[in-house]
Amino acid sequence: MRFDQPATTNPIDQGRVVGRPTPRIDGPLKTTGTAPYAYEHHGATAEPAIGFVVGAGIAKGRIRSMDLTAARKAPGVLAIVTARNAGKLGQAGKNTAKLLGGPEVSHYHQAVAVVVATTFEQARAAAALIDIRYETRPGRFDLAAQRPHAPLARSDGMGGKGQTQVGDFATAFAEAPVQLDATYTTPDQGHAMMEPHATLAAWEGRKLTVWTSNQMVGWAVEDLAKTLGIPKADVRVRSPYIGGGFGGKLFLRADVLLAALAARAVNRPVKIALTRPLIFNNTTHRPATIQRLRIGAGRDGRITAIAHESWSGNLPGGSPETAPVQTRLLYAGEHRLTAMRLAVLDLPEGNAMRAPGEAPGMMALEIAMDEMAEKLGLDPVELRLRNDTQVDPEKPQRPFSQRRLAECLRLGAERFGWNQRSPRPAQRREGRWLVGTGVAAAFRNNIAMKSRARARLDGEGRVVVETDMTDIGTGSYTILAQTAAETLGVPLERVRVALGDSAFPVSCGSGGQWGANNACSGVYAACMKLRGLVAAQAGLGSDASFVDGEVRGGGRALPLDAFAGLAAEDGIEYGDLDKRYQQSTFGAHFVEVAVDAFTGEVRVRRMLAVCAAGRIINPTSARSQVIGAMTMGVGAALMEALHVDTRRGFFVNHDLAGYEVPVHADIPHQDVIFLDEVDPISSPMKAKGVGELGICGVGAAVANAVYHATGVRVRDYPITLDKLLPGLPDVA
């Protein structure tokens, strides 16, 4: 199905199933512990051996020698795979560093060996016996130190430019009556998902099957085949349940490759789960940023000049953290400049983490807007409203398909009681607590991606949907079932959804807030094709209706059971609507915090998100997505930071004890409001996405609330009490 014209009325608009709050279909499996995750396919293969991955003990240099003698003699050891005996390996384009290092070492904890043994304990004990001698080289581990040497990035890594310019920013900024020039920093952050990177691999002759935790099954097949140098047809990837990914499982990682190599070496299935330190230092992370914001405005609050420049670091060949991307689109202003500079760092690979670009970028931009509002003597909500736009600011001839940011801000302000807020900071006190409120806009683009699915009618009167789409805890099983039920006119309980298997049609996968809209559109396309087959076999015309498990037309009604065995495969392909219209999602975050006047402790007391994201397919799971993202935003604002040892080049706090994330006690009740809207330009579903919108702007809303409570402006995230204490008002 080609989608190249705005959607008109279609079966999804009936709203019998789509758009209704629906409990997760996979919920009972998750809550009873019976959903089989990658490490738990106990009945799928013969008794597997266990692999334990050895990570490099240096950040840059080479392995001078590796003595495996003692390890090979250890009890239960079956094999040890290193770069010397792994055979020729390729490198997939989505991996910046080699997944199996040696003799050259690119970063700390790069995998250099995997020990395979009968039990986990045996493999771990033997791995400790490997004697590795290194030759270290000087490395670059400090972004601030490398900032002067960071060149302009050629691209943003996602097909966009590393720099954009419109008008004459320098002149307009210099002439602006009100100016802001401020620098903000965000730290390296880890995905910290509950389920570790894990894989079970098994060979049958030349064919390889891996059960793994991966968000993008199609990418995994392609990259694993390329790395191993085998045909794609010989690789099967299965990933039906994923215990969190947040972008950390978008790409092929060491556990998958090493499990495959180990299984081939011992001629039996092998399972591997990365330990927590390896997850933080061996896999990917969100890179730290330094961001400079310059905003010039007239005294009426209208922005005339805006510039957003960022510095981030990565391994050679890596991409920048795209922090300025939202500034290209969010606010009006005739004279504009954005630029990304990329330093070479010898830290572990930086890559996608939930809302890459916008999440850290809006942590800076939305504080800058707050600071600008104060300079102008304007309410922060009003400043944002005055600089709203219905067209792409860099390409004014290109309108937004839908843009209801102003409505999100106004409705949020009303529901949150914003009009009761004092414009001056540090005015409200409740006992020992200083209380303040903050606001930030939310923004994230809608991305159109091809996605395919298969729909068939089985012999038990059910609709079966098959696609390699994944469910990373987001509710894919449910919304795909809702789509099929709505399109074919059957109750939800008569739909079975099978996901996460490369034997199924290739979907868009889970990532970048693109999963729900595109995957549902692919299922819709397959179901519409199946409708055509049923109508044709029933001898009915194109105006046949599908209601209550029947196909009806011409005064006749036939049960769908009568068409068992019919199947259709189709997908969604997009024309140029995403080029003719800017497709984005919008929102507003409102936060209230209390800060202990004596200790600087910050407690979040109230949170509200108002979202405009097209049709909401399932309000229940969409709300869960947003409150989860809001929680991550609180973590980014107040506690999350990977601390770099700038002498040895590794993340020191590489476990869940040292890397702090919010827990239930840190998070208050969260309110989420979805505007009632559809976007016919986005897809046949008229939906977009909310999975990443919910994190965009939250950190800044928290930071702005902390400032409003205390009068202390912190521009260096996270906002820890040591940064607040020196500036807190006297308590005497």
SS3 131: strand
Rounded to an integer, what distance in angstroms lies between the CA atom of residue 439 and that of residue 699? 10
Rounded to an integer, what distance in angstroms lies between the CA atom of residue 692 and that of residue 353? 10
Q: So what's the pLDDT on residue 541?
A: 83
Rounded to an integer, what distance in angstroms lies between the CA atom of residue 262 and that of residue 272? 9
**388: its two tokens:** 């709203």
Q: Which residues contact 688 (CB under 8 A, 6 or more apart)?
A: 446, 513, 517, 583, 585, 613, 614, 679, 682
Pairing of strands 303-314, 335-344: parallel
Enumerate the active-site residues: 692
Q: What is the DSSP letter of 177?
A: S
**515: its two tokens:** 């999963």
**Which DSSP helix (H) or strand (E) runs through 125?**
helix 120-127
Q: Are 583 and 401 in contact (CB under 8 A)?
A: yes
- CA atoms within 13 A of residue 295's CA, in its CB half-sphere: 30
Do you find a cis peptide bond into 718, omega within 30 degrees of 0? yes
The residue among 75, 84, 80, 88 whose CA lies nearest residue 51 is: 80
Rounded to an integer, what distance in angstroms lies between the CA atom of residue 504 and that of residue 100? 29
Q: So what's the pLDDT on residue 460?
A: 86
Q: What is the largest CA-CA distance in the chain?
A: 86
Q: Which residues contact 1 (CB under 8 A, 6 or more apart)?
A: 521, 524, 525, 528, 529, 570, 571, 572, 573, 684
The residue among 383, 396, 398 whose CA lies nearest residue 166 is: 396
Q: Are 219 and 250 in contact (CB under 8 A)?
A: yes
Architecture of domain 2-35+448-576: 2-Layer Sandwich (3.30)
Q: So what's the pLDDT on residue 543?
A: 87
Domains of the chain by residue range: 2-35+448-576
- CA atoms within 13 A of residue 495's CA, in its CB half-sphere: 29
- What is the Cα gyration radius of the chain? 27
Phi and psi at residue 212, in whole multiples of 5°?
Answer: -145, 170
Rounded to an integer, what distance in angstroms lies between the CA atom of residue 342 and that of residue 154? 9
The residue among 214, 266, 204 whose CA lies nearest residue 235 is: 204
Q: So what's the pLDDT on residue 376?
A: 98
What's the count of helices (H) and strands (E) in the chain, helices before strands?
Answer: 17, 32
**57: its two tokens:** 């003990």
Determine if residue 183 is left, alpha or beta; phi over 0 gives left, psi from -120 to 50 gives alpha, anything else beta: beta
The residue among 687, 701, 705 whose CA lies nearest residue 630 is: 701
Phi and psi at residue 645, in whole multiples of 5°?
Answer: -80, 100
Beta bridge partners of 687: 614, 615
Rounded to an integer, what distance in angstroms lies between the CA atom of residue 381 and that of residue 364? 17
Q: So what's the pLDDT on residue 45?
A: 82
**108: its two tokens:** 């700390």
Residue type, 549: G
Burial annotation 57-70 (CB, 10 A radius, 16+ → b, else e): bbbbbebeebebee
DSSP 668-682: --EEEEE-----TTT
| CB atoms near residue 73 (< 10 Å) | 10
Please identify which residue in the block is written with the tokens 């004014």: 396
Q: What is the DSSP letter of 185?
A: E
Phi and psi at residue 724, in whole multiples of 5°?
Answer: -95, -40
Mean pLDDT by runs of 10 across the 732 residues of the chain is 98 98 96 94 88 98 98 98 97 95 98 98 98 98 98 87 97 98 98 97 98 98 98 98 97 98 98 97 98 98 98 97 98 98 98 98 98 98 98 97 98 98 96 97 97 96 96 97 98 98 98 97 98 96 92 95 97 97 98 96 98 98 98 98 98 97 96 98 97 97 98 98 92 64
| CB atoms near residue 302 (< 10 Å) | 15
Beta bridge partners of 51: 116, 272
Please identify which residue in the block is written with the tokens 């006119």: 489
SS3 403: coil
Distances (CA, A) of 304 to 48, 365, 379: 64, 16, 18
